[in-house]
């Protein structure tokens, strides 16, 4: 069983369900989807900005799990590959991520939606948007609802609670920031960081046709006469 924690924001519910359907349509292993909303944690531009860091706590600091931003992603590969990568993670790693190095092309994100906000550049931006998490690693032990409530959002997003050697790297295909100009060829996860094609302003975003195809497949049962 692959435990997949998925960022959920009610304002992007269409994106969340589209992502889950895209995973199910391709997976050859059982997947347990666990939505991560705010759960009382401070919110950034998304409801789940900090709650993602409660995954080890919610797993009783046992086992391994995947986190996906989900609400602004689709999956184009079999997540059985992630199951294998999780099992192969060295015990000394607390987390493995795609280590992006970029500056955003979009100074404002979620334009013309209730989520509209500045899109701030910072070190390790979007590293935490897709994570393979070793919940048993001692580096997570200090993170619980109380400590996260008092934490600095940006510092936590940058994994400053971990040593650099405890942060592993995975193939960039698992978190392609398609609206930041990253190459979508062979992408396994497409990620729209500024706004999903469900929003009017972003309906012509790069690879929007692929997002709509997954949305139509996810909702096709609702259109049966």
Residues 6+ apart with CB under 8 A from 126: 98, 100, 175, 177, 191, 193
Q: Write the pLDDT tens digit of every residue in 65-123.
A: 999 999 999 999 999 999 999 999 999 999 999 999 999 999 999 999 999 999 999 99
For residue 80, which phi and psi values (nearest 5 degrees)?
Answer: -55, -30
Question: Measured between alpha carbons, how far is 89 from 96 in angstroms, rounded to an integer?
Answer: 8
CATH label of the domain that carries residue 49: 3.90.550.10
Query: Does pTM top 0.85 for this prediction?
Result: yes
Q: How many domains does the chain have?
A: 1
Q: Write the pLDDT tens digit of every residue in 12-21.
A: 999 999 999 9
Q: Which domain holds residue 144?
A: 2-223
Higher pLDDT, 38 or 4: 4
Q: What is the band of 221 on the pLDDT scale with cuts at 50, 70, 90?
A: low
Q: Are 79 and 20 in contact (CB under 8 A)?
A: no
Q: Write the pLDDT tens digit of every residue in 54-67.
A: 999 999 999 999 99
**3-state DSSP assignment of residue 186:** coil
């Amino acid at each position: 069983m692959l435990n997949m924690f998925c960022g959920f924001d009610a304002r992007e519910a269409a994106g969340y369900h589209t992502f889950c359907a895209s995973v199910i349509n391709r997976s050859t292993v059982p997947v347990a989807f666990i939505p991560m909303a705010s759960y009382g944690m401070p919110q950034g531009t998304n409801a789940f900005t900090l709650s993602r860091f409660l995954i080890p706590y919610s797993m009783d600091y046992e086992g391994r799990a995947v986190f996906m931003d989900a609400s602004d992603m689709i999956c184009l590969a079999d997540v059985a590959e992630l199951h294998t990568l999780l099992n192969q993670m060295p015990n000394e790693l607390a987390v493995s991520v795609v280590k992006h190095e970029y500056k955003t092309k979009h100074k404002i994100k979620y334009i013309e939606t209730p989520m509209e906000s500045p899109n701030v550049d910072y070190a390790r931006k979007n590293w935490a948007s897709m994570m393979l998490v070793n919940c048993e690693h001692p580096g997570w032990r200090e993170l619980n609802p109380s400590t996260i409530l008092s934490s600095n959002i940006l510092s936590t997003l940058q994994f400053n609670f971990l040593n650099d050697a405890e942060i592993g790297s995975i193939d960039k295909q698992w978190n392609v920031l398609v609206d930041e100009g990253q190459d979508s060829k062979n992408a396994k996860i497409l990620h729209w960081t500024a706004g999903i094609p469900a929003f009017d302003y972003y309906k012509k975003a790069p690879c929007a046709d692929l997002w709509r195809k997954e949305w139509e497949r996810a909702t096709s049962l609702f259109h049966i006469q």
